[in-house]
Structure 1
Amino acid sequence: MTNWILGDRFDTVYPHKGSIKALWETKWKFCCSKSIYPFHDGEFEDFEPIFESLIANNINDPFTDAYTNTFSPIVDRLEEEATKALNNGHPDRASDLFRRAAVVLRISRFPYVSPTTRPDNAVKRAAFDRQKDLYLKAASLWKPALKEVVIPHSRRSGKDGSSIPLYIRVPEEASASHPVPVVLLMTGLDGYRPDNSQRTHEIINRGWAVVICEIPGTADCPSDPADPESADRLWTAVLDYMAQRPEFDMSHVAAWGLSAGGFYAIRAACTHRDFLVGSVAHGPGSHHFLSPEWLAKVNDHEYPFTITDCWAEKYGYATTEEFIQNSQKKFSLVETGVMDQPNCRLLLLNGVDDGVVPIEDSLVLFNHGGPKEGRFFEGTVHMGYPHSLPVAYTWLESVLSPNATEVKN
């Protein structure tokens, strides 16, 4: 039995569990009022009436159509106001309203969208498709604009799909004669391409381009979720495409994996070490998070809803029980020997009190392969917010723009 650093909280049922009312009043209302995960870029005024309605109607299961549909009237109103502002010659106002509508849709399709549309997830898939549409309307009005590019999956094999959708944002000054560094952003279990506005602003402001790609088993990713090596083919195809863009400096490419994407940032630091100058694994799982012991308790911890069912589908298992019993041996970066390879520079970031993936999943990596770097924040939970973000940007500056004037966060 593991002596978890989380201590007594490993066996604790966190207070937001059990109902939407408990979640809103003990956890999400505060997050929403501060526009922090998962409400980043959102407005409290948009969400308060939605959660009042969910509570009043005793809608507690986020996986139901009733939950997702409760958000639609606010989205309709915001979209209507945005369209009117655009038609009246107010693009900044329109962009802001489209963005807000997209954030409302994010929470409506939370916590997970499968790449496979089935009758039981069709409403969430429709909400996600609408989120993308409204988000791109907002982002098309930015300077520089964020754009969607769909590329062929040139390295596809087995059950991989044929195309890879990306979001790309490039500084206006980038050109063949002035190529810029690039951040390859690997998204998470519940955060996808349209959920990273502030990160793209920060990256662009540093003179870098950003390419955003979803991870296997989520959203629109074409990779076979059941094949541990499908992610390797995915990143190779994306990097091949990036190399065809003369405005990208391919000698200065860094990966940044977020939450579940951190798992892939660690893997890529080994499998694609010759193509990356560095990789940030932010809130990453690697080994212990797939153990039956951890999985037996994780649904009681800080994640807003049940997470094991989402993980099971994300990793390509037919049932949650199969996932719990078999996933560690198949996917663990320690069990499979991936971490015994050399790696490029790799920064591990997380909160010590993470109840989604244990901090042990970062610590164990220091005993395998090449040297690692890490910064772990006591008293903080998954991802180590807000303290981890300045560290991530400062570290990325050291690998992507080592000779540039310091940028203040």
Structure 2
Amino acid sequence: MTPWILGERFNTVYPHQGSIKALWETKWKFCCQKSIYPFHDGSFEDFEPIFEKLIAQNINDAFSDAYTNTFLPIAESLERQAAEALDSGHADRASDLYRRAAVVLRISRFPYVSHASRSETSVKRLAYERQKNAYLKAASLWKPALEEELILHKHASGSDGSQIPLYIRLPEDASASNRVPVVLIMTGLDGYRPDNSQRTHEIIARGWAVVIVEIPGTADSPADPTDPESPDRLWSSVLDYMETRPELDMSHVAVWGLSAGGFYAIRAACTHRERLVGCVAHGPGSHHFLGKEWLSRVNDHEYPFTITDCWAEKYGYASTKEFEENAQKKFSLIETGVMDQPNCRLLLLNGVDDGVVPIEDSLILFNHGGPKEGRFFEGLMHMGYPNSLPVAYKWFEEVLSPNKTEVKN
């Protein structure tokens, strides 16, 4: 057996597994009270009655319709209140209520919405559609507003879809005569376009634009999940679109890949190195997380629900067993030789005690290709929160605005 840095915790079943009651009481209640992942932007008062009902009715399967449906009455109430506030001329209150509704809908469709699921057959897909609707109503009232664009997938091939939905938010002073740097956010397995409000606020506050795109195999991504090279085509189309925006300084584009998106940030640092000034891979997998040994125990670790079934569908496999047997050879950034190419600046961020993807997946990258940068936090789990966020923003400031005064996040 591999001597994992995670140590004896590799074989440990974490206490929240299999029980909504245990998950809420040992993990999620605290996160909800502090408004941190996955409850960022949410309000405890919205969630407490929902989880009391889930616990009372012994609903433990987050993949069930019963789980998702438990959230919907609260979301509907918040949406109704938001509409009433907007009709009464209270735009700030309306935006706040729509934001809260979107977060409730986020957790209702947690942990995964397949790229292939349809609203007529998937309650989670329907909840996601409602989440996007509520979120865009909230974000349209921000200053500056966040907007949705549906762009042509110019480089689509094979089973790729023809259009790419993305979110874009620009500083109010961005123009053709005042072009601004831009951060391209690559989302994760469970966090999608409407799940990055605070990041967009922080990015806008630094005078940069932000573009948010979902990764292959998730939500609305048109990229063929079965093709290891489909993300390369996806980012080429997105970057080509960004070139058409006169407000964007395309000589200063950086990527921020979040969790599962970190995998794609690493890949883009090689495949699109000449179009990017840098990439942050935040909580990334690269190789070991797709191996059979890691996959044999990952469902027992910190992720709140079973993750291997989601990963299998995300990578386009018909069964989890087929995924476990074949994914590493097909998708690993080491096995496929991607990491033996040169790369643009690449910062790897994670917690040493990550039980979702092993810290070894960051460390192995230092033995391949060009130089890398890394900051890993002992005693912290997946993503290295909260300590990793200031490091990310400081690094982006050095890469995108080296002559500006540091902004405190």
TM-score range, shorter chain: over 0.9
Deviations 1:200-253 (A, max 9, x none): 000000000000000000000000000000000000000000001111000000
Give the letter aligned to residue 18 of structure 1: G
- Which residue does 1:198 correspond to in 2? 198
Question: Which residue does 2:46 correspond to in 1?
Answer: 46
1:377-388 to 2 correspondences below 5 Å: 377-388=377-388
Aligned-residue offset at 1:121: 5.7
Letter of the structure 1 residue corresponding to residue 266 of structure 2: I
Tell me if 1:187 matches 2:183.
no
Q: Hey, what does 1:398 align to over in structure 2?
A: 398
Q: Which residue of 1 aligns with 2:23?
A: 23
Q: What TM-score comes out, normalization by structure 1 length?
A: 0.99
Q: Which runs of 5+ in 1 are unaligned?
A: none
2:111 and 2:332 map into 1 onto residues whose CA distance is: 23
Q: Give the alignment of 1:84-99 within 5 angstroms.
A: 84-99=84-99
Aligned partner of 1:375 in structure 2 is 375
Q: In the alignment, what sits opposite 1:73? A: 73
Counterpart amino acid of residue 192 in structure 1: Y
Query: Measured at CA, do residues 3 and 79 of structure 1 come closer, stay the same or move farther in structure 2, by a change above 3 Å?
Result: same
| Runs of 4+ deviating beyond 2 Å | 118-121
Tell me the residue number matched to 2:306.
Answer: 306
Aligned AA for 2:145? A
How far, CA to CA, are the matches of 1:107 and 1:18 in structure 2? 17
Q: Which residue of 2 aligns with 1:166?
A: 166
Q: 1:270 and 2:270 equivalent?
A: yes
Q: Which residue of 2 aligns with 1:110?
A: 110
Amino acid at match of 1:284: P
By how many angstroms is 1:35 displaced?
Answer: 0.5
Separation of aligned partners in 1, 2:358 and 2:220: 27
Distance 1:119 1:33 in 2: 31
* Aligned mates of 1:212, 1:317 — CA distance in 2: 26
Secondary structure, aligned partner of 1:395 = helix
- How far apart in 1 are the matches of 2:287 and 2:39? 29
For residue 63 of structure 1, what is the aligned residue in structure 2?
A: 63
The answer on whether the counterparts of 2:182 and 2:208 sit within 8 Å (CA) in structure 1 is yes
**Residues 132-180 of structure 1: CA deviation (Å, up to 9, x unaligned):** 0000000000000000000010000000001000000000100000000
CA contact (8 A) 1:280 1:348 kept: yes
Give the residue type in structure 1 aligned to 2:107. Answer: I
Counting only pairs closer than 5 Å after superposition, residues 211-222 of structure 1 correspond to structure 2 as 211-222=211-222
Distance 1:81 1:199, change over 3 A: same
Distance 2:263 2:348 in 1: 10
Q: Percent identity?
A: 80
Deviations 1:337-372 (A, max 9, x none): 000000000000000000000000000000000000
Shift of 1:405: 1.4
Flag structure 2 segments of 5+ consecutive residues without an equivalent. none
CA distance in 1, matches of 2:306, 2:85: 39
Let me know the Cα RMSD of the aligned residues: 0.8
Counterparts in 2 of 1:242 and 1:118: CA distance versus 1, 3 Å: closer
TM-score (norm 2): 0.99
SS of the residue aligned with 1:129? Answer: helix
Letter in 2 for 1:68: T
Q: Secondary structure at the match of 1:75?
A: helix
Inter-CA distance 372–174: structure 2 relative to 1 (3 Å threshold): same
Q: Deviations over 1:383-408 (max 9, x none)?
A: 00000000000000000001111212
Contact in 2 for aligned 1:113/1:121 (Cα 8 Å): no
Match of 1:376, SS state, is strand
